[in-house]
Structure 1
Amino acid sequence: MSASVRNILYQVVAGVIVLAVAWYLVGNTLDNLARQNIATGFGYLDLEAAFGISEHMIDYAPTDDYARALLVGILNTVKVAVIGILLATLLGLVVGIMRLSPNWLLARLAAVYIHAFRNVPVLLQLVFWAAFIRASFPSPREVGQEGAAIFLTNRGIYFPWPELGDAGAATLVGLAVGLLGWFFLRRWALARQMTTGRSFPHLWAGLGLALAFTVLGWLLGGAHLVLDMPALAGFNFRGGARMTPEFAAVLFGLTIYTSAFIAEVVRSGIQAVPRGQWEAAESLGLRRGQMMRLIILPQAMRVIVPPLTNQYLNLTKNSSLAVAVGYPDLVSISNTTMNQTGQAIEAISIFMAIYLALSILTSVFMNWFNARMALVER
């Protein structure tokens, strides 16, 4: 028997063994559930949930089914993950650059920040922020209202929120058109700089373009704008927008914890750029900010992006710890579903599949971005 045939035979035998073990485990599980009179399947998703959710991005009532309750949990998880990734990236970038600053105080402060938050378990940080918010901020009735627009209370952070009415859709369309114009303006500015050597302030021009189209869309939509202000009514504030203590604790904890790791990724990426690139930039008379933005960071990104992807994935998966502080994320709502229906395997399978899908989407996007940043041989 040849080596290739023998290898194929070994793989077939291994595959048969794996399938047999899986078949036994599934069959044994179904038999045990049947003996306990526990129905299997996902039909329970159509049943009435009969429990409230304190925070939801879409309309939800206890009379809705379990499928809608799970959708609320998914959206809450995605909201924390997306906002946390954006804030952690910005904060990590700043702290990572500070870590290499020639200013002794800035560099030491960045080092203390990184070592302090990176070496404390993220779960403890979430619990700390939740306790800090509830203990440090006053109750709504103890907050003075004279001349204030933002209120920090132990029931949440209340702030004004614009209501655009019928002009909302047109405003969003204008914003989308402005951002698209900014994208093409940036491409033109970079191509022009590569051919002529002359720079164009595409950042400020793009911001102005996006703002102009947004205002234009708002005007064409009817120019409706009402600022909904929070006001004390009874024992709590009404109106405006609210950031709950649970969401704030999860967001602050995940952002600060992940930003400490991102700062070290940024530092290592910058240090991977050859010293000659710094010297060449200095010989051109560029300021340190220009050197970092135009020469160093674009090259460092090729080293930064792969480990940065891991940090994004970690932040998304660490959001499952939000259940410890009472934030109604996917895991929290799934736990409630399991307790009410007994469908533990199905509920766990659903949120495992959701986290897998979020991780795959993040990896696909970051791999695409990494390919865009890679050096192209000529």
Structure 2
Amino acid sequence: MTAIGPDATAPGSPLLKNLLGERPLTQIFLFVGVLAAFGFLGQTMATNMGRVGITPGFAFLSRPSNFEIGETLIAYSSQSSFARAILVGLLNTLLVSAVGCILATILGVSLGLARMSENPLLSGSVRAYVELIRNTPLLLQLFFWSATFHALPAARKAFEPVAGVYLSNRGIYIPAFRFESGAAEAIALISLAAALLLPLLRRRFALSGRIVATLSLAGFFLVIFTLASTGNLRAEIPSLKGFNITGGLSLTPEFAALLVGLVVNASALIAEIVRSGIQSVPQGQWEAARSLGLHRGLIFRKIVLPQAMRVITPLMTSSYLSLTKNSSLAVAIGYPDLVSIINTAANQTGQALETILIMAAVYLTISFAVSFAMNRYNTRYALKGLGR
């Protein structure tokens, strides 16, 4: 039968009409006009930049940056290129975003479960926490945490809430592992090999997810024990010596304030996501499972959680993306993230358009990568069994 309606394509219609619909010539002229307008604006901008001695393009990335960066994960100096400076900012952004997503998930899930507690004091406290955090601006929260960390006492009078952990206005000092003689590279290579081989072994021998997780955990502890026994891995605990704290891992006040602010803010939203996901499972599922004699933990793990994940996972994707993009507020408290370093580069070079394009491309890439990973997880695990 021939389709009838406004969306139907008339037999024998021209190719342009099939591609562009009604009035194809009008759409073509409009498209060409938009391209011409953008071309004119680009030419005008290039002319104006040339008058003030600025050459359009990305050649500035190879020039020395001539500014220092307080926190770097890779080697950097003022003589390094702008490209390396931007890479430093990108790594700082990825670090705080990755650690923030992990900690926010742990705290948010815990709060979400506590929110559903039958203890009115516990559930009420979590509800007050969620309402307070969700109804105040994130920027205000970052200012609060920044002021809090800078108000801590000096290093010689630092707080020590637990043994080996110091809180001072110079930063937070926590125990850390130190790798020697290429141990870090060895762990990275072993982890990469395990990530490639375990899925193959799982399909080849039809191993369950629990067995694969157990093997992974056992292999990890075996590698750590081997490195520790050979002296290539050692624990380093901070200690107060004179007027300074030495040893361990030092987190600057700016990094700590940004991380805590992002985690606290995101955890409030994640707590509500977890609560709504669990409550989306019909009460009859709980009652049916109890009638079979299953205890509460098994009911939650085997029946409720798999169904709740279908609701939780898409919303968690949005939370992770929001946390990553909100890390750009680091510029307000002095943490050298991607936005802060690109702003400095733009001010020194005058290449505002190019630096904005770089920033947009980086954040789009990060967002697409997070969305792709979460969508794969949602399709493979959270939505598993919907078609059965």
Give the TM-score category using the shorter length.
Answer: 0.7 to 0.9
Q: Is the 8 A contact 2:72 2:92 kept in 1?
A: yes
Residue 155 (structure 1) aligned with residue 155 (structure 2): no
Q: Matches of residues 300-311 of structure 1 in structure 2 within 5 Å?
A: 300-311=308-319
Structure-1 residue corresponding to 2:332: 324
Question: Separation in 1 of the partners of 2:328 and 2:313?
Answer: 24
Q: For residues 141-189 of structure 1, give each alpha carbon's deviation from its aligned partner in whole angstroms, at most 9, with x where no partner exists.
A: 32389x9522211110123332221244334445566777887898899
Question: How far did residue 321 of structure 1 move?
Answer: 0.2
Question: Separation in 2 of the partners of 1:100 and 1:259?
Answer: 15
Question: Separation in 1 of the partners of 2:163 and 2:312?
Answer: 42
Structure-1 residue corresponding to 2:39: 23
Question: How far did residue 203 of structure 1 move?
Answer: 5.9
Question: How far did residue 239 of structure 1 move?
Answer: 3.5
Which AA in structure 2 matches 1:307?
Answer: L
Question: Separation in 2 of the partners of 1:49 and 1:89?
Answer: 37
Structure 1 residues 288 and 316, CA gap change in structure 2 (3 angstroms): same
Structure 1 residues 211 and 268, CA gap change in structure 2 (3 angstroms): same
Unaligned regions of 5+ residues in structure 2, if any? 1-9
Which AA in structure 2 matches 1:150?
Answer: V
Q: Which segment is superposed worse, 173-182 or 235-244? A: 173-182
Aligned with 1:132 (options 126, 139, 148)? 148
Which AA in structure 2 matches 1:164?
Answer: F
Aligned with 2:304 (options 296, 313, 318)? 296
Structure-1 residue corresponding to 2:131: 115
Aligned with 1:165 (options 160, 180, 190)? 180
Aligned with 1:266 (options 271, 274, 284)? 274
TM-score scaled by length of structure 2: 0.85
Residue 63 (structure 1) aligned with residue 73 (structure 2): no
Q: For residues 94-137 of structure 1, give each alpha carbon's deviation from its aligned partner in whole angstroms, at most 9, with x where no partner exists.
A: 111222222222221221111111111111111110101111x2
Question: Separation in 2 of the partners of 1:346 and 1:192?
Answer: 49
Which AA in structure 1 matches 2:259?
Answer: L
Q: Is the 8 A contact 1:189 1:202 kept in 2?
A: no
Aligned with 2:156 (options 126, 141, 159)? 141
TM-score scaled by length of structure 1: 0.87
Q: Matches of residues 1-378 of structure 1 in structure 2 within 5 Å?
A: 4=18, 6-135=22-151, 137-143=152-158, 149-166=164-181, 167-174=183-190, 207-216=217-226, 219=229, 222-231=230-239, 236-372=244-380, 373-374=382-383, 375-378=385-388
Question: Separation in 2 of the partners of 1:295 and 1:113?
Answer: 29
Percent identical among aligned pairs is 45
Q: Is the 8 A contact 1:273 1:300 kept in 2?
A: yes
Question: How far did residue 287 of structure 1 move?
Answer: 2.5
Q: Which segment is superposed worse, 234-243 or 151-160? A: 234-243
Which AA in structure 1 matches 2:358?
Answer: I
Q: Which segment is superposed worse, 260-269 or 10-19? A: 10-19
Question: How far did residue 273 of structure 1 move?
Answer: 1.2
Q: Is the 8 A contact 2:159 2:167 kept in 1?
A: no
Question: Separation in 2 of the partners of 1:180 and 1:211?
Answer: 19
Question: How far did residue 12 of structure 1 move?
Answer: 2.2
- 3-state SS in 1 of match to 2:95: helix
Question: Separation in 1 of the partners of 2:334 and 2:155?
Answer: 20
Q: Is the 8 A contact 1:178 1:212 kept in 2?
A: no
Structure 1 residues 168 and 237, CA gap change in structure 2 (3 angstroms): same
User: What is the RMSD computed on CA atoms of the aligned residues?
Assistant: 3.0
Which AA in structure 2 matches 1:13?
Answer: F
Unaligned regions of 5+ residues in structure 1, if any? 194-199
Q: For residues 288-331 of structure 1, give each alpha carbon's deviation from its aligned partner in whole angstroms, at most 9, with x where no partner exists.
A: 22222221111111111112211111111100000101000001
Q: Which segment is superposed worse, 321-330 or 289-298? A: 289-298
Structure-1 residue corresponding to 2:4: none
